[in-house]
Structure 1
Amino acid sequence: MTVLPENGLSLAAEFPDATHEQWQSLVEGVLRKSGKEVSGTAAEDALSTTLEDGLRTRPLYTARDAAPDTGFPGFAPFVRGGRAEGGIAGGWDVRQRYAALQDGAILTDLENGASSLWLTVGAAGIPVEALGKALEGVYLDLAPVVLDAGADTEAAALELLRIVEERGVAGQARGNLGADPLGHEARTGEALDFAPFAALARRTAEEYPGLRALTVDALPYHEAGGSAAQELGASLATGVAYLRELTEAGLPVEQALGQLEFRYAATADQFLTIAKLRAARRLWARVAEVVGAPDAGAQLQHVVTSPVMMTRRDPWVNMLRTTIATLAAGVGGADSVTVLPFDHALGLPDAFARRIARNTSTILVEESHLARVIDPAGGSWYVETLTDELAQAAWQFFRTIERDGGQAAVLRSGRIRTDLATTWAERSKRIAKRREPVTGVSEFPHLAEKPVERESAPEQPGGGLPRVRRDEAFEELRARSDAHLAATGSRPRVFLATIGPAAAYTARATFAANLFQAGGIEPVTAGAFEDSGASEAVLCSSDALYEEQAEQSAAALRAAGATHVSLAGRPAEHPGVDAYVFAGCDAVAVLSATLHRMGVS
Structure 2
Amino acid sequence: MEEEKKEEELDLQAILKQAESKTDFPEVTFDEFTPPTDEEWKVACEALLKGAPFEKVMFTKTYEGITFDPMYTRKHTEDILPKASYPGMGDYLRGTNVSGYVGKPWGIAQSCDETLPKENNELLKFEVEKGSTVYNVRLDKATLLNKDVKDAEKVGDDGCSVTTLDDIHTLLDGLKLDEYPLYIYAGASALPMLAGVAAKFNACGKKLAKLTGFVGADPIGQLVENGQNYASLDQLYDEMAETAKWAIKNAPSLRTIMVRDDVFSRGGASDVQDTAYVLAIAVEYIRQLMKRGLTIKEAASQIFFGISMGANFFMQIAKLRASRPIWANIIKAFGGDEEDMAMHVHGRPALFFKTVFDPYVNMLRNTTEIFSGVVGGLDSYENEPFDEPIRKGDVFSRRIARNVQVMLQEEFGLLQPIDPSGGSWAVETLTKQIKEKIWAEFQAIEGKGGIVKALEEGYPQETIAKTLADRFKALEFRKDRIVGSNMYPNMTEELLDKREEDQAALKKQRQADIDAYLSDMDDTHKAECLKALKDSATVDAALKAFQAGATIGEIRAALNKGGASETLKAIAPHRWSERFEDLRMTTEAFKKAHNGDNVKVFLANMGPIPQHKARADFSTSFLQVGEFDVELNNGFKTTDEAAAAAKESGADVAVICSTDKTYPEIVPDLAPKLRAALPNATIYLAGAAPKDLEPVYREAGVDDFISVKANCYEILRFLQKKKGMID
TM-score greater than 0.5 by the shorter chain: yes
Offset at residue 151 of structure 1 (A): 4.2
**Are residues 1:518 and 2:632 paired?**
no
| Alpha-carbon contact 1:105-1:351 (below 8 Å) kept | no
**What is the correspondence of 1:228-307 to structure 2 with a 5 Å cutoff?**
228-295=271-338, 296-307=340-351
**What is the correspondence of 1:468-483 to structure 2 with a 5 Å cutoff?**
468-483=574-589
**Are residues 1:579 and 2:704 paired?**
yes
The match for 1:127 is 161
Indicate the SS of the match to 1:442: coil
- Distance of 2:615 and 2:56 partners within structure 1: 30
**Are residues 1:50 and 2:61 paired?**
yes
The match for 1:566 is 684
Match 2:41 to one of 12, 15, 23: 23
| Alpha-carbon contact 1:551-1:577 (below 8 Å) kept | no
Match 1:171 to one of 186, 197, 209: 209
Offset at residue 88 of structure 1 (A): 8.4
- Distance of 1:286 and 1:7 partners within structure 2: 48
- Distance of 1:134 and 1:532 partners within structure 2: 61
Change (3 A) 1:165 1:529: farther
Change (3 A) 1:91 1:532: farther
Indicate the SS of the match to 1:54: coil
Offset at residue 107 of structure 1 (A): 1.7
| Amino acid aligned to 1:139 | K
Match 1:34 to one of 47, 51, 60: 51
Match 1:117 to one of 126, 132, 135: 135
Q: Deviations over 1:453-507 (max 9, x none)?
A: 1334899xx9721111110110111111011111113232211221111111111
The match for 2:488 is 444
| Alpha-carbon contact 1:99-1:458 (below 8 Å) kept | no
Indicate the SS of the match to 2:385: coil
Offset at residue 420 of structure 1 (A): 0.6
Offset at residue 252 of structure 1 (A): 1.8
Change (3 A) 1:565 1:73: same
| Alpha-carbon contact 1:131-1:159 (below 8 Å) kept | yes
Offset at residue 190 of structure 1 (A): 1.6
Offset at residue 355 of structure 1 (A): 0.7
- Distance of 2:493 and 2:659 partners within structure 1: 32
Indicate the SS of the match to 2:389: helix
Change (3 A) 1:25 1:511: closer
| Alpha-carbon contact 1:44-1:58 (below 8 Å) kept | no
Change (3 A) 1:559 1:227: same
Larger CA deviation: 87-96 vs 549-558: 87-96
Offset at residue 381 of structure 1 (A): 0.8
**Are residues 1:80 and 2:94 paired?**
yes
The match for 2:181 is 144
Indicate the SS of the match to 1:345: coil
**What is the correspondence of 1:141-540 to structure 2 with a 5 Å cutoff?**
141-151=178-188, 153-167=190-204, 168-191=206-229, 192=233, 193-295=236-338, 296-456=340-500, 464-490=570-596, 491-526=598-633, 528-532=645-649, 534-540=651-657
| Amino acid aligned to 1:96 | Q
| Amino acid aligned to 1:545 | T
Change (3 A) 1:341 1:457: farther
Change (3 A) 1:569 1:24: closer
| Alpha-carbon contact 1:216-1:262 (below 8 Å) kept | yes
- Distance of 1:475 and 1:551 partners within structure 2: 37
- Distance of 2:710 and 2:207 partners within structure 1: 61
- Distance of 1:225 and 1:252 partners within structure 2: 35
| Alpha-carbon contact 1:484-1:492 (below 8 Å) kept | no
Larger CA deviation: 59-68 vs 172-181: 59-68
Larger CA deviation: 530-539 vs 427-436: 530-539
Change (3 A) 1:132 1:492: farther
Change (3 A) 1:561 1:163: same
Larger CA deviation: 270-279 vs 549-558: 549-558
Indicate the SS of the match to 1:212: strand
Offset at residue 127 of structure 1 (A): 2.7
Query: What number of residue pairs does the alignment pair up?
Result: 591
The match for 1:40 is none
| Alpha-carbon contact 1:285-1:297 (below 8 Å) kept | yes
Q: Which 5+ residue runs of structure 2 have no aligned equivalent?
A: 1-21, 144-158, 504-567, 635-644
Change (3 A) 1:597 1:255: same
Change (3 A) 1:457 1:382: farther
| Alpha-carbon contact 1:273-1:328 (below 8 Å) kept | yes
| Amino acid aligned to 2:725 | V
Offset at residue 180 of structure 1 (A): 0.8
Offset at residue 531 of structure 1 (A): 4.4
- Distance of 1:117 and 1:584 partners within structure 2: 49
| Amino acid aligned to 2:59 | S
- Distance of 1:140 and 1:107 partners within structure 2: 11
Could you state the TM-score of these two structures normalised by the residue count of structure 2?
A: 0.77
Q: Deviations over 1:174-231 (max 9, x none)?
A: 1111111111111112244210111101111122122001011112111111101101
Could you state the TM-score of these two structures normalised by the residue count of structure 1?
A: 0.93
| Amino acid aligned to 1:470 | W
- Distance of 2:720 and 2:103 partners within structure 1: 54
- Distance of 1:213 and 1:8 partners within structure 2: 61
| Amino acid aligned to 1:106 | L
Q: Which structure has the larger Rg?
A: 2
| Alpha-carbon contact 2:461-2:569 (below 8 Å) kept | no
Larger CA deviation: 69-78 vs 270-279: 69-78
- Distance of 1:474 and 1:335 partners within structure 2: 35
- Distance of 2:131 and 2:393 partners within structure 1: 17
- Distance of 2:502 and 2:136 partners within structure 1: 15
Change (3 A) 1:90 1:498: farther
- Distance of 1:121 and 1:24 partners within structure 2: 54
Over aligned residues, Cα RMSD in angstroms? 2.5
| Alpha-carbon contact 1:147-1:176 (below 8 Å) kept | yes
Match 2:715 to one of 581, 585, 590: 590
| Alpha-carbon contact 1:101-1:134 (below 8 Å) kept | no
- Distance of 2:26 and 2:251 partners within structure 1: 54
Change (3 A) 1:317 1:594: same
| Alpha-carbon contact 1:96-1:339 (below 8 Å) kept | yes
| Alpha-carbon contact 2:102-2:416 (below 8 Å) kept | no
- Distance of 2:227 and 2:501 partners within structure 1: 22
| Alpha-carbon contact 1:263-1:301 (below 8 Å) kept | yes
Larger CA deviation: 194-203 vs 291-300: 291-300
| Alpha-carbon contact 1:308-1:468 (below 8 Å) kept | yes
| Alpha-carbon contact 2:646-2:674 (below 8 Å) kept | yes
Indicate the SS of the match to 1:497: strand
Larger CA deviation: 488-497 vs 534-543: 488-497
- Distance of 1:239 and 1:348 partners within structure 2: 30
- Distance of 1:87 and 1:456 partners within structure 2: 39
| Alpha-carbon contact 1:435-1:584 (below 8 Å) kept | no
Indicate the SS of the match to 2:717: helix
Change (3 A) 1:355 1:403: same
- Distance of 2:432 and 2:23 partners within structure 1: 37
| Amino acid aligned to 2:624 | Q
| Alpha-carbon contact 2:114-2:123 (below 8 Å) kept | no
Indicate the SS of the match to 1:464: coil
- Distance of 2:590 and 2:276 partners within structure 1: 44
| Alpha-carbon contact 2:328-2:343 (below 8 Å) kept | yes
| Alpha-carbon contact 2:102-2:415 (below 8 Å) kept | no
Change (3 A) 1:457 1:430: farther
Match 1:552 to one of 653, 669, 678: 669
- Percent identical across equivalent pairs? 30
- Distance of 1:361 and 1:99 partners within structure 2: 19
Change (3 A) 1:341 1:463: farther
